Structure 1
Amino acid sequence: MLSKAVSKSRRAAVLLFVTLILLALSVQARSQSLSSSTDPSVTARTPTSGTLDLTYLRPTEGIKVRNYVYEGFGPYPIAGAAFTAGINQLTDSPPEWNQGIKGFSRRFGSNLGIAIVGTSTRYGLAEAFKEDTLYYRCQCSGAFPRLRHAVISTVIARRGSDGHRVFSFPALVAPYAGSVVAVYGWYPNRFGAKDAFRMGNYSLLAYMGENISLEFFYSGPHSLIARMHLNNLHGSTIKGPNQ
């Protein structure tokens, strides 16, 4: 029964992964169509409303470094690694690491290492591709449009001074970079490419969940989260365009 449930969850993750890619490519195609059919300033327009997105301010290098440190080594990745390690401990995964403090420590270190590698990959490749991978809240209204915006933003980034949206290779690769390093670096020898892909899917879903929380939960300067010094800098304070 458990193996059937795991198999179904894997198929659902793969289906969601493919859907994400198709949606992202659709958004990019519409954006490119607008930019090629009119003057260059249209690249700053939203694909649905056609209004100029005048709110975009490209983050400075200092902001990107601060975001990277917070996302890779701050309280959120540490808490996430501990939570996931607890689940792995309960399910005895992988069983080679056994139970007890030693087993939990290995699982915690593994999950934190995966998160750090993934974050480092995303920021490093984004710098090489001149992309802005911060999350921007949607200017749209309504639960479904905002949810769609959050989901698609998982594999979308901004590029250029106008912040036009593109399909993001760094955002797509990053979740799998961490799992590949873990599988071939410190996981038991029986793990392979399929396990890396499966774990990468879960990391991608977790990143999507972060975007959804940033879209629907207020995290401004006067929020409880900010007062607790747990404001997630993965999200920008500037709203982005409608999707």
Structure 2
Amino acid sequence: MTTFKNKMNTVIFIIISTLLLCACGKSETAAPPPATPKEAAECILESIKKLDLETLNQYSDNYVQTYHNWLGVPTENEYRVFNELLQPRSKRSKRYQSAYKLDQKIMENLTWEITDVQTDNDTAVLDMVITNIDMAKVLEIYENKLLENMLESPGLGLAQLAADMAELAVGKDTLISIIEDMANDWDNGGLISIRVTASAYQDNGQWKIHLSQDLINAFSGNMYTDTDTDHLEEKAAELEYELEKKWENWLE
């Protein structure tokens, strides 16, 4: 059963990591370019909160590379974050719109404080505290919800799991509902604050921020951590045990 849950967690993580942070917006008014490392950090964090990916790409190293086919024609661009919807596609698709709705729900809780900046010529390091919805906890609750649905459904529950995975890919209403519930209960650990050190550099005279994995994890609400909440982990173990018994009884 542990192997099954690990596989389920992997599927959830892949879907979430490719679709969760994938919206595209544009600034309503053009702001002056950031003149200092601190201004650059403020700029990209504000652009993430507003889902303004044009500004994010302009003042960070989000772009990685472009892939070409055998004729040398560009086929896809790779980005560190928000990769999927930075690809050419219709913004009218249900998949895009559901992802955008989820992004808005997550990022509306994003706040930050830059506590220290050390500049050395064309480079700088910035200490900051980033606070957001605890997405690691959200995903734990969601995984337990999937197990509960499988227990309550007829047979082995695999048809229900497939339906839930489809809803995750194109709907996400369940995840959004969990986030909203946590948003109304901050006193019980709905938010998480992460201390992180970011790096900045000058590119043709313009300050930009490096999107390290630690920084991405921080503004994503600790989504890429392996840390589990004790009581949620205990509940998951109980659900796995009940599901295992259900399978054994069904197969007898």
User: Is the helix fraction higher in 1 or 2?
Assistant: 1
Same fold (TM over 0.5): no
**TM-score normalised to structure 2 length:** 0.25
**TM-score normalised to structure 1 length:** 0.25
User: Is the strand fraction higher in 1 or 2?
Assistant: 2
Q: State the structure with bigger RCO (CA 8 A, min sep 6), 1 or 2.
A: 1
